[in-house]
């Protein structure tokens, strides 16, 4: 059977680094296995799901290069969930409950105060037809719980190894709300079964759900001849550098803000997230194919990985230093540097942590600069030795060789006044690369102390 995985975000907020790491791991798993990757929007929470979040998810995944082979939206599938719910009711696995949230809170509080786990007591199973009729005549509407088998639930998790739960230690989960709307615990299983998902790779916050969902898969198989229980992998969730969980509301760690405000390259984020929390070293990679080749879910460790924005920025810089012009031409044009070419990019990229910083160097090579010409006699001698154009990468060496021979200066005394006059700054990209971009006309004027 061919491998099929899914990434199933709820469009109730922006994707943050933690969510998108799970998307990436699923995608890498699929590509490595030659299988397929489904994007599924878990949008049955109609109050909180928003079309702009759904669009944001698609935009973020596309930006990272995580293309999907199949797409599904849970809100398109209510008919199917109703069908499955009807079958589960008929087989007695879904049973109606009438407790109000307040009554349930009281029950929980009383169990907890006795030092017992807050497991639902199945009082609703003891109701007779007359009790139910009376409750409904009082205006109560049922919600529906799934009757768990009180047997062990076991699976071999690709990250956690053997996992064991006792069915009796779990509460029968609510699968259908009072208003008839199905909940995630059910819809996810129906979709995974119908869409023949072979591996469910998600965060370890879902481990207890998995115990319950395995029983739902089995119940579907029994009533419908459908669901095969997938293989599960639960990854430890990313935390921030201090060990705190990343919440969806943490705007600064959203993929959108890393892209739009922090100037992070997609491959920097992918290179980091593919390796964080694994036994592989984090290294700059320029293509997803390289990450696919290196991917193995067995390398994912059970220890909590920490996401450090500084580490991401350092990796971004290392990636920029390697990226060829073609890969950034679009970004440079978007910055207004339409005329930037490979020579410019290669000159400035060693000095960049973010592509947008190229603007500063463009201003040095292509716009008037007020030079720091504080050694005029020396600069005049140097200017007189400027070779005729055309200039290339050897011009700087030829010229400064001549200046050195003529003035007897060397090292910092030779180079710093030239740099300050030519660029207006003490530091920057190698002048060998910048000089031909600045050109003779500008260079001559700047050496004469003129803004040019």
Question: 206 or 366, CB closer to ligand GLU?
Answer: 206
User: Where would I find the H helices in 46-77?
Assistant: 51-64
Choose the stretch contacting ligand GLU; rule: CB under 6 A; options: 2-10, 51-59, 323-331, 420-428. 2-10
Site string for ligand GLU, 181-210 (x = CB under 6 A): -------x-------------x---x----
What is the smallest separation between the CB atom of 46 and ligand GLU, expressed in angstroms?
Answer: 14
What is the smallest separation between the CB atom of 63 and ligand GLU, expressed in angstroms?
Answer: 19
DSSP state letter for 115: T
User: Can you tell me whether residue 212 is helix, strand or coil?
Assistant: helix
User: Can you tell me whether residue 1 is helix, strand or coil?
Assistant: coil
Does the annotation list 445 as a binding residue?
A: no
Question: 43 or 262, CB closer to ligand GLU?
Answer: 43
* Contact with ligand GLU (CB under 6 A) among 4, 9, 285, 399: 9
Nearby residues of 163 by Cβ (< 8 Å), 6 or more positions away: 154, 155, 156, 157, 207, 210, 211
Q: Is the dihedral of CA 1, 27, 159, 291 positive or negative?
A: positive
Question: 143 or 202, CB closer to ligand GLU?
Answer: 202
Distance in angstroms (rounded) separating the CA atoms of residues 193 and 199:
11
Q: Do 261 and 267 meet the contact criterion of CB atoms below 8 Å apart?
A: no
Question: 255 or 437, CB closer to ligand GLU?
Answer: 255
> Helices 266-275 and 51-64: crossing angle, nearest 10°?
90
Task: Tell me which residue of 20, 11, 10 sits closest to 264, measured CA to CA.
Answer: 20
Question: 74 or 99, CB closer to ligand GLU?
Answer: 74
What is the smallest separation between the CB atom of 12 and ligand GLU, expressed in angstroms?
Answer: 9
Phi, psi of 313 (to 5 degrees): -70, -40
Question: 131 or 205, CB closer to ligand GLU?
Answer: 205
Q: Within 10 A of 197 (CB to CB), how many other CB atoms are there?
A: 24
Q: SS3 letters for 247-273?
A: CCCCHHHEHHHHHHCCCCCHHHHHHHH
Q: SS3 letters for 27-74?
A: HHHHHHHCCEEEEEECCCCCCCCCHHHHHHHHHHHHHHCCCCCEEEEH
Residues in 213-272 that interact with ligand GLU by CB under 6 A? none
Number of H helices, E strands in the chain: 18, 10
Token pair of 19 as six digits: 């969510």
What is the smallest separation between the CB atom of 215 and ligand GLU, expressed in angstroms?
Answer: 15
What is the smallest separation between the CB atom of 210 and ligand GLU, expressed in angstroms?
Answer: 9
What is the smallest separation between the CB atom of 213 and ligand GLU, expressed in angstroms?
Answer: 8
Nearby residues of 112 by Cβ (< 8 Å), 6 or more positions away: 118
* Contact with ligand GLU (CB under 6 A) among 4, 5, 8, 276: 8
Choose the stretch contacting ligand GLU; rule: CB under 6 A; options: 6-14, 113-121, 388-396, 400-408. 6-14
Cα angle 74, 208, 119 (rounded to 5 degrees) comes to 110
Distance in angstroms (rounded) separating the CA atoms of residues 125 and 106:
19
Token pair of 408 as six digits: 């007897």
Question: 23 or 94, CB closer to ligand GLU?
Answer: 23
What is the smallest separation between the CB atom of 83 and ligand GLU, expressed in angstroms?
Answer: 21
What is the smallest separation between the CB atom of 64 and ligand GLU, expressed in angstroms?
Answer: 17
Residues in 100-129 that interact with ligand GLU by CB under 6 A? none
Question: 188 or 365, CB closer to ligand GLU?
Answer: 188
What is the smallest separation between the CB atom of 436 and ligand GLU, expressed in angstroms?
Answer: 53
Token pair of 13 as six digits: 């907020």
User: Strands 152-157, 161-166: parallel, antiparallel or unpaired by DSSP?
Assistant: antiparallel
By the rule CB under 6 A, 365 interacts with ligand GLU: no
**Could you tell me how many residues of this chain bind ligand GLU (CB under 6 A)?**
7
Site string for ligand GLU, 17-56 (x = CB under 6 A): -------------------------x--------------
Q: Do 184 and 44 meet the contact criterion of CB atoms below 8 Å apart?
A: yes
Choose the stretch contacting ligand GLU; rule: CB under 6 A; options: 8-16, 107-115, 241-249, 309-317. 8-16
Choose the stretch contacting ligand GLU; rule: CB under 6 A; options: 5-13, 76-84, 269-277, 316-324. 5-13
Task: Tell me which residue of 80, 54, 96, 90 sits closest to 189, measured CA to CA.
Answer: 80
Token pair of 1 as six digits: 């059977």
What is the smallest separation between the CB atom of 67 and ligand GLU, expressed in angstroms?
Answer: 19
Question: 203 or 449, CB closer to ligand GLU?
Answer: 203
Question: 10 or 433, CB closer to ligand GLU?
Answer: 10
Distance in angstroms (rounded) separating the CA atoms of residues 428 and 419:
9
Binding site for ligand GLU (CB under 6 A): 8-10, 42, 188, 202, 206
What are the binding residues? 248
What are the binding residues for ATP? 248
């Amino acid at each position: 059977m061919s491998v099929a995985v899914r990434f199933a975000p709820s469009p109730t907020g922006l994707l943050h680094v933690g969510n998108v790491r799970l998307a990436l791991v699923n995608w890498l798993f699929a590509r490595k296995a030659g299988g397929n990757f489904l994007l599924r929007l878990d949008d049955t929470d109609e109050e909180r799901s928003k079309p702009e979040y759904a669009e944001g998810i698609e935009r973020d995944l596309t930006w990272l290069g995580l293309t999907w082979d199949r797409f599904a939206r849970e809100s398109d599938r209510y008919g199917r969930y109703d069908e499955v719910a009807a079958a589960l009711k008929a087989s007695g696995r879904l049973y109606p409950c009438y407790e109000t949230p307040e009554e349930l809170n009281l029950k929980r509080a009383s169990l907890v105060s006795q030092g017992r786990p807050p497991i639902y007591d199945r009082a609703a199973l003891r109701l007779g037809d007359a009790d139910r009729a009376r409750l409904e005549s009082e205006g109560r509407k049922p919600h529906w719980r799934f009757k768990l088998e009180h047997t062990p639930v076991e699976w071999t998790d690709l990250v956690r190894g053997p996992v064991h739960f006792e069915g009796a230690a779990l509460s029968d989960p609510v699968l259908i709300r009072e208003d008839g709307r199905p909940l995630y615990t059910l819809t996810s299983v129906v979709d995974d079964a119908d869409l023949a998902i072979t591996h469910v790779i998600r965060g370890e916050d879902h481990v207890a759900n998995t115990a319950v969902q395995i029983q739902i898969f089995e119940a579907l198989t029994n009533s419908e001849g459908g669901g095969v229980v997938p293989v599960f992998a639960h990854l430890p969730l990313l935390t921030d550098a201090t060990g705190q969980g990343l919440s969806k509301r943490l705007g600064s760690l959203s993929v959108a803000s890393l892209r739009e405000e922090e100037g992070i390259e997609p491959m920097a984020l992918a290179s980091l997230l593919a390796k964080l929390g694994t036994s592989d070293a984090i290294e700059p990679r320029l293509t997803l194919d390289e990450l696919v080749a290196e991917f193995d879910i067995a390398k994912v460790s059970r220890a909590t990985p920490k996401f450090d924005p500084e580490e991401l920025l350092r990796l971004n810089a290392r990636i920029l230093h390697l990226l060829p012009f073609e890969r950034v031409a679009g970004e440079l044009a978007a910055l207004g540097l339409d005329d930037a070419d490979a020579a410019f990019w290669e000159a400035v990229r060693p000095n960049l942590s973010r592509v947008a910083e190229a603007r500063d160097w463009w201003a040095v090579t292509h716009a008037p600069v007020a030079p720091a010409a504080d050694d005029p006699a020396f600069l005049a001698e140097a200017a007189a030795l400027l070779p005729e154009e055309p200039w290339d990468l050897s011009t700087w060496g030829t010229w400064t060789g001549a200046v050195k021979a003529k003035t007897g200066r060397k090292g910092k005394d030779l180079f710093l006044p030239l740099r300050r006059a030519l660029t207006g700054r003490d530091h920057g990209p190698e002048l060998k690369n910048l000089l031909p971009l600045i050109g003779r006309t500008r260079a001559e004027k700047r050496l004469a102390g003129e803004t040019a």
